[in-house]
Amino acid sequence: MKLAVIGRGLIGSAAARHLSKMDHDVALIGPDEPADFARHDGVFGSHYDEGRITRRYDPQAFWRQMNRAAIARYDEIAAESGVEFYREAGALHVGHRETTDVASVGQVCADEGITCEAYQDAGLAERFPFLKSTVGMLGYFEPRDAGYISPRRLVRAQTIAAERAGARIIAEPALGISESSSGVTIRTGSGNVEAQRVLVAAGGHTQSLLGRSLGFTVYGRTVALFRLSAAEVQRLAGMPSMRCLGPKGDNPYILPPIPYPDGQSWLKLGGDPTDIRLDNEADIKDWFRSGGSVDVADRLQTQILDRIRDLTFEERRVVPCMTTFGASGLPNIGPLSERVTVAFGCYGKSAKCSDELGRLGGTALLGEVSAELAP
């Protein structure tokens, strides 16, 4: 079957790989990473980065299922592409003992058979000496099938694997689609692409590309990166990925020092509580060109200094991204019509499990919608 996937991000590239391996004729449509955000006039993505936490645990059963399935295929994707994108550094979920969210991590891990080690107070400090304060704190550590991935390298791996399986890569943005009784036409800057069916997996751009709301809201978010010296990287060599559990606004996630394409190692912090609605393409472009919120980055800097003992950094970088939220807590993966299917709306959770979300998007395009996602 002649298929097109719009969106060469995490979910779209995964869908193209799975569909190509099923021997379908697949076109994967989406531009390369922009060289300069401030001057870029096309589409943007949040996967232009080197650090996303991965782990099996999630408070929701659906997302645990997605995580488990995707992580199990990391080695397969790396082997098919020759691109490594995952480091098993472990994941620490930590917060005050009385926080319900912290206690529930241990219970869910026990119920689901997720390997998890519990630490508190002095034991937590001994196991993770980089933590600034552990008094009254409880932590659950996933040592296996957890750590971080490079979303940028994962997209590259999926794209290479899809192309090796026969997919055609069209490195341009889709400018519009039109459906007829005989197929779907996708308009690009260099001409039209014809397909029998199309999967739209364009992240925050999905609703504007379709010209209709599907009940999801796109929000601008800010993350902060801190450049570390070689000595500081060495001091933090055993640091895992971290989820700091607490009230909104004081619950950052923290990535350990990660090498970036500039040859430097950066520690990443996110958890922006500010909801900046991006209602259309103009809003999205303005947000990414703005460079993100310095005020949010200032708050994140305070939070990282409160949590990592004696942290010193040489430079701070403020980075904009976007996330898409709906009311159900589940993504939108399913058909809009006989020939058009969508896969988007992932609440900032999709990087680690994007391969399984892409697989579900691909099977939905072929007419098999997951029972949990069916309307």
What secondary structure letter does DSSP report for 326?
A: -
Residue 161 confidence (pLDDT) above 70:
yes
Q: 27 and 108: one domain?
A: no
Task: Identify the domain containing residue 195 by its residue range.
Answer: 2-62+151-212+329-365
Residue 369 has pLDDT above 90, yes or no: no
Instruction: Report the CATH number that the domain containing residue 234 is assigned in CATH.
Output: 3.30.9.10
Which is nearest to 352 in space by CA: 127, 80, 54, 116? 54
Are residues 25 and 99 part of one domain?
Answer: no
Same domain as 86, residue 43 = no
pLDDT digits (tens, 9 = 90+) for 309-350: 999 999 999 999 999 999 999 999 999 999 999 999 999 999
Report, in angstroms and rounded to the nearest whole number, the Rg of the chain calculated over CA atoms.
21
With respect to residue 371, please indicate whether it lies within any of the assigned structural domains: no
What's the pLDDT at 94? 97
User: Is residue 315 located within the same domain as residue 246?
Assistant: yes
Q: Do residues 55 and 87 share a domain? A: no
- Which tokens belong to 297? 């980055």
- d(C-alpha 70, C-alpha 76), whole Å: 10
Query: Of the ranges 100-109, 158-167, 194-203, 256-265, which one carries the lowest mean pLDDT score?
Result: 100-109
**pLDDT of 374:** 66
Q: Is the pLDDT of residue 141 over 90?
A: yes
The per-residue pLDDT for 247 is 87
Q: How far apart are CA 252 and CA 29, in angstroms?
A: 34
Q: Lowest mean pLDDT: which of 83-87, 101-105, 162-166, 267-271?
A: 101-105
Count of residues in the chain: 375
Query: Is residue 49 domain-resident?
Result: yes
Quickly list DSSP for 8-36.
-SHHHHHHHHHHHHTT-EEEEE-PPPPS-
Section 209-238 average pLDDT: 96
Domain CATH code at residue 31: 3.50.50.60
| Same domain assignment for residues 201 and 238 | no
Residues 55 and 44 in one domain: yes
- The whole-model pTM stands at 0.96
Q: Please compute the mean of the pLDDT values over residues 151-172 and round it to a whole number.
A: 97
Residue 372 falls inside a structural domain: no
Could you tell me if 231 and 361 lie in one domain? no
Same domain, 144 and 157: no
Q: How far apart are the first and last CA of the chain?
A: 26
Q: What SS3 class is residue 169?
A: strand
Question: What pLDDT score does 248 carry?
Answer: 85
Examine the domain organization and report whether 317 and 190 are in the same domain: no
pLDDT at 33: 86
pLDDT confidence of residue 375: 60
If asked whether residues 33 and 130 sit together in one domain, one would say: no
Residue 226 lies inside a defined structural domain of this protein? yes
Which residues 6+ apart lie within 8 Å of 311 measured at CB?
Answer: 226, 232, 267, 304, 305
Q: Which residues of 54-83 are buried (b: 16+ CB within 10 A; e: fewer)?
A: bbbbbeeebbbbbbbebbebbeebbebbeb
Query: What's the pLDDT at 127?
Result: 97
pLDDT single digits (tens) 11-42: 999 999 999 999 999 999 999 988 777 777 77
Q: How many domains does the chain have?
A: 2
Tokens of 308: 């990592």
Segment 290-315 shows an average pLDDT of 96
Residue 143 and residue 234 in one domain? yes
* pLDDT score at 37: 76
Is position 223 within any domain? yes
Alpha helices by DSSP H, listed for 149-225, are: 151-164, 206-210
Please say if the pLDDT value at position 92 is more than 80: yes
Question: Is 374 inside a domain boundary?
Answer: no
Domain end: 310, 325, 340, which one? 325
The whole-chain average pLDDT of the chain stands at: 95
Does residue 44 surpass a pLDDT of 90? no
